[in-house]
A and B are shown apart, each in its own frame.
Chain A
Amino acid sequence: MMRRIVLLSLIGMLLLSSALIQPVAAQTTLRVLVHQNPPMVEFMEAFNQQFQEQHPDIVVDMSVVNANDLSTVTQTRLSANDIDVIDMFGFANAVQPYMVDVDPPNWQQLADAGLLMDLTDQPFVANYDAATIADAGTYNDRVYAINLGRVSYSGIYYNRDLFAANNVTVPTTWSELVQACETFNAAGIPCMTAGGRDGWPIFVGAYGLIGALYPDQAALVEGLWTGTITWNDEAALVMWSRMQIYARDMIEPGASGIAADAAPGRFASGAVAMFPGGTWYAPAIEAAEPEFEWGYIPFPGSENVEDNQYLFGKYDQGWAVAANTPNAEAALLYLEVFSDPENYQAFVNAVGFIPTQPTAQLNTQLGEEVAPYLANFRVGYEQYWVAPRGVGQYANPWASYFQPFGTFDDPQALADTVQADLQSGLDAVGS
């Protein structure tokens, strides 16, 4: 009898509980991949929080990887169908008709393999300006990415207080820049810093020098491919000589140990006078030292002031969606909410990108600094260049080949090596 009572009680409780408990809504876990950029990651964490509150049925699982590892992780996670929304870099340098026997850049390989979702008909695409969608999101007439902003990497941040204290005027020509560095070095103040531990900040820091001497970078790439321009001609030798001065005399000793993420903090600490770097560093500089007084100028790589009025750069981060995602609806909703003009404006404010939505404005100090040059913004060499197979390891215009970062101390020897390394690839593909 007792057993029967217990059994009936249990059944009753079970029925009651099943009636009382609301069915739990199935949650979607949206997997998002971004590269390491502290202000952007901070913004994305806040955005994800807000997105989850608005859409409690979606949990955002965001992974952050080093920029150097982004393509590797993108490949492996796409292969494993383990990612929904992907941070796409450099959706620009498609293979041009004059390029022979090259491997397409990784974004093109992803699109060709059918791994990126076609976003052409998504309403949020219209929030971005048409030129950006065409230049940095469209391939074979289909839209595969929305680009979130342009950045310049050819400028120099300068410390206003140190410039004033040492009676140095803001340089507008190469000679003035050299003179400024000599003044700072004589005063025991390192002229420039850079995040040399990650490698690329050293040569990217000098991209402005290439831009000042080769203002039309698309023509430069075509010229190198077709042989009308060489890396050891007269104009190039000027570039190499200046790059040597930049690497040897301008960048502070020990910069090779500074991580890319740490360099803005070192500049903001007031330890160095200048910091050649991309506009994406501005939020990190402001966060490190809010009271710090800084300015931003195009790299004065030419003796002609007019040539130093351009900012060269690239389309930076963009969003793409995995074609085979099981969470397509959530992924598209995520992009739609992100692309809302109000949210996008907040993103631009936080990250410092030059906006790619026509209604957004860069309302920051960086915005004020770059405003005079925005009309002169140009896409840089790196975004056009695709190397032929067989090129040697020195076939790039990189200041980091010079001592103390590399082995070369003679501009002519380096120029000849770079051209020979490039030519061997061009010869190999019969270009």
Chain B
Amino acid sequence: MTYHFGRGRSRWLPYLLLLPGIIAYFVVALGPSLATAVFSFTDATGLPGAPVNWVGLDNYREFLFLGQAARDNLNAVGRTLIFCFFVTTIQFALGLLVAVILNQKLRGRNFFRTLYFMPVILGAVIQGLIWSLFLYPLGGPLAEFLAIFGVRSEFLGAQPTEAFAWVIVVQIWANMGTTMIIFLAGLQTISAEYYEAARIDGANRWQVFANITWPLLTPSVNTNLLLNVIGSLQAWQLFLVLLGYRNGTQVLGYLIYATGFGQTSGSVTSSFRQGYAAAASIVMFVMVLVIGMTVQTILRRREARIMG
């Protein structure tokens, strides 16, 4: 058997080249994840020098079963799923629509591709600032526009349901560019010959989309769905920037951040509870894992059925 890197010691070269990456993965990703799992069984505060005691399943018991706080936590889990559902479906559909449109030969399509992708490169703080100004209820652009029709709203400061809906809007605006780019890349791999053949056979636009574009986009569909599902389940930055710790709006990701860094009381006198926050992180990890694996299994089966 010919071996690319030669024989003897040279055979170890690829492993040597992989080593920095593996070390980086352990130090940056796997190590902290394992540490989080261990911390979830302790009362760690995250402060150096503070005693760390093994508390067994106490943090999980508290998160899932202790008092009204546990019910609030489960409500946050429910809200996370609702957030995931709306963000995934709307972002997916919009990204696909925009990608299909911008895959046509249109004047200025590169400008529009850049325009739709631009929010992705802004950080959550800038995204939040832009939308806070846009939704400013005392003379902001949208407030002024709605005032023409006699409608007024507090937007981000409104009832939790409306405030929550605005975060969904901003999340989609912020990430739709990624979905669009992945679809665009997928669309450009589809050979023009298929479309030509379909047109010769007399297929209309919908038939072309349903029978050629959609099936051949399967790898992009799978990638986007998985990214959207996992990304929205883990979202928390926009909740912090746009709403802060506000009753009836927290999702699990933000709850973990607020608990771990002592921001749950709405004042500056709450506690550091990183052990408890780690347990909540593991709950979220399990949720993401189960949903992610289920979605991936379904998508793989679909891909196998379509692509053969």
Contact = CB atoms under 8 A, between A and B. Distances in A.
Contacts of A68: 244, 263, 268
19 contacts: A68-B244, A68-B263, A71-B263, A72-B261, A75-B262, A90-B268, A104-B271, A106-B270, A109-B272, A198-B244, A199-B244, A254-B138, A257-B135, A257-B157, A390-B68, A391-B68, A392-B72, A393-B68, A427-B67
A115 B152 CA distance: 49
Contact of A105 (B46, B49, B270): B270
Interface residues of A, number: 59
A110 B67 contact: no
Interface in A48-82: 67-68, 70-72, 75, 78-79, 81
A72 B271 contact: no
Contacts of B45: 109, 113
A387 B159 contact: no
| Interface SS of chain B | loop
Contact of B67 (A382, A392, A398, A407): A392
A269 to B, nearest CB: 12
A192 B146 CA distance: 24
Contacts of B70: 390
A47 interface: no
Contacts of B262: 71-72, 75, 106
A428 interface: yes
Nearest to A257: B137
- The 10 A-B pairs at the shortest CB distance, nearest first, are namely A256-B157, A390-B67, A392-B68, A103-B271, A113-B50, A424-B67, A424-B68, A254-B138, A254-B137, A257-B137
Given A90-B267, A113-B45, A115-B48, 4 more contacts: A71-B272, A256-B158, A392-B67, A407-B159
- Interface magnitude class on chain B: 35 or more
A75 B49 contact: no
Nearest to A266: B138
Contact of A199 (B69, B245, B273): B245
A392 B265 CA distance: 11
Contacts of A254: 137-138, 143, 154
Nearest to B246: A199
B53 to A, nearest CB: 13
Nearest to B66: A390
Contacts, number: 156
A303 interface: no
A115 B51 CA distance: 12
Nearest to B273: A103
Contacts of A393: 68-69, 72, 247
A89 interface: yes
Contact of A67 (B49, B247, B268): B268
Interface in B237-251: 244-248
A404 interface: yes
A75 B272 contact: yes
B62 A389 contact: yes
B66 A78 contact: no
B85 interface: no
Contacts of B265: 387, 396
Contact of A257 (B50, B156, B263): B156
B17 interface: no
A105 B271 contact: yes
B272 A425 contact: no
A106 B267 CA distance: 11
Nearest to A70: B268
B140 to A, nearest CB: 7
A227 interface: no
B47 A78 contact: yes
Contacts of B62: 389-390
Contacts of A299: none
A75 B72 CA distance: 26
A292 interface: no
Nearest to A426: B67
Contacts of A424: 67-69
A71 B152 CA distance: 36
A257 B155 contact: yes
B186 interface: no
B154 A79 contact: no
Given A93-B269, A391-B69, A256 B137 contact: yes
A78 B273 contact: no
Interface string A234-271: 00000000000000000001111110000000000000
A113 to B, nearest CB: 4
